[in-house]
Amino acid sequence: MAEIKRIECGPRMSMGVVHNGVVWLAGQVGTPGDSVAEQTRTALAEVDRLLAEAGTDRTRILSAQVWLADMADFAEMNAVWDAWVPQGHCPARATGESRLASPDYRVEVIVTAAL
């Protein structure tokens, strides 16, 4: 049976789970109250940190889900995303609008990556 590695396992959830050469990350958010751009930068920095802890990096992201509290922020989030995603390594991605855990959160990023 293949090992399951849990990253930063808490009482409710893990920040990441590694199994069979794939890492699934929990949704990452920025600092409540910051701008959409800053929340996106912070969330993507957390994605980088967790991927490194799992033994991989952003060039190995298979898919991403981006949730925005307001689709009017799509261009602001994309400006940060486009500067972050490595050229030639764009994952499959979906972006949608959703009410997030707190009204102060404007963006949440969820990724799945290969090791």
Residue 37 and residue 27: Cα distance in Å, rounded?
Answer: 17
pLDDT of residue 114: 98
Residue 6 and residue 10: Cα distance in Å, rounded?
Answer: 10
In a domain, 14, yes or no: no
Range of the domain at 96: 27-114
Average of per-residue pLDDT across 45-58: 98
Over residues 75-114, the pLDDT tens digits come to 999 999 999 999 999 999 999 999 999 999 999 999 999 9
In a domain, 96, yes or no: yes
Which DSSP category does 24 fall into?
E
Average of per-residue pLDDT across 52-74: 98
- pLDDT greater than 90 at residue 1: no
Q: Measure Cα distances from 55 to 47, 77, 87, 88 in Å.
A: 12, 26, 21, 20
Over residues 5-47, the pLDDT tens digits come to 999 999 999 999 999 999 999 999 999 999 999 999 999 999 9
In a domain, 11, yes or no: no
Residue 31, helix vs strand vs coil: coil
